[in-house]
Structure 1
Amino acid sequence: MKTPMSSDTKLMKDEECESVDSTKYRGMIGSLLYLMVSRPDIMFSVCFCARFQEDPKTSHLEAVKHIFRYIKGTMHLGLWYPKGTDIETVVYADSDHVGDYVE
């Protein structure tokens, strides 16, 4: 996979899709949240999928599996935090909350 999530992916509270095991889904999201510390490239996708932990559907699970496939193909990427160094990280974000289509 070239990206953790396609830019045109539209995940919603889909009532028609089949529900999946929320415990399994939360475990997968928890693992990805832990991994985000060294892989900031997956941050947007993981946080987007984490919004649906209450009632995950098959479409949400497919998006999470897509992130795992991306990670498998990009194991060489990541941040390295050597012990004993004073590393300062500066992050900039361009958020578009007006275009949010999920409540």
Structure 2
Amino acid sequence: MMKKITYLALTLVATGLTACANSPENGVSNNTNMGQAQCLPAEAKKLVGHTGLSDEQIKQKTGSKIVRTLTPNQPATMDYRIERITVIIDPVTNQIKDASCG
């Protein structure tokens, strides 16, 4: 009798946990983009050497939603954001020295 009660209790707990789990409507999970804009790394690298690009132009070229502009050796947070591009610009020449997603 005790085994039946234990089995029943475990079954109810497992069923309850399964009911709480999120599942996509089509049965396939794709959490990589979740409807956000996404920076394209290959396009980001193509910006190196350019000068005079506006934030809006950078967004259009890379698919990014956020542009973070830094100078060489300027500290920045290390959090990764799929929708952000980080652009390193030489303060003297205004030339893009590096561009990367995140």
* TM-score, length of structure 2 as denominator length: 0.21
Q: Which has the higher helix share?
A: 1
Indicate the structure with greater strand content.
2
Structure possessing the higher relative contact order (Cα contacts under 8 Å, 6 or more residues apart): 1
Larger Rg: 2
